[in-house]
Amino acid sequence: MAELTFETAMARLEEIVALLEGGNCTLDESLKLFEEGTKLTAFCSELLKNAEQKIVQLTQGEGE
């Protein structure tokens, strides 16, 4: 299985939102989608936090 990237995680999150908004899922399916979505959200948030830290480090180095 290919490694999950930010872009693929965001695309899957968009799919999950569309499925949940469609209202055609059973309660069990909705809960599974919601759980998957929260995991993907945490994954994306961590990647963004790491990217922000790297940008801060790089820009601080330029000011010296």
3 assigned to some structural domain: no
Give 63's DSSP letter: T
Quote the number of domains for the chain: 1
Q: Which domain holds residue 53?
A: 10-62
1 assigned to some structural domain: no
For the entire predicted model, the pTM comes to: 0.82
Specify the pLDDT at position 39: 97
User: Tens digit of pLDDT for each residue in 13-57?
Assistant: 999 999 999 999 999 999 999 999 999 999 999 999 999 999 999
CA atoms of 44 and 24, how far apart (whole Å)? 26
List of residues 6+ apart from 33 with CB closer than 8 A: 16, 19, 20, 25
55 assigned to some structural domain: yes
2 assigned to some structural domain: no
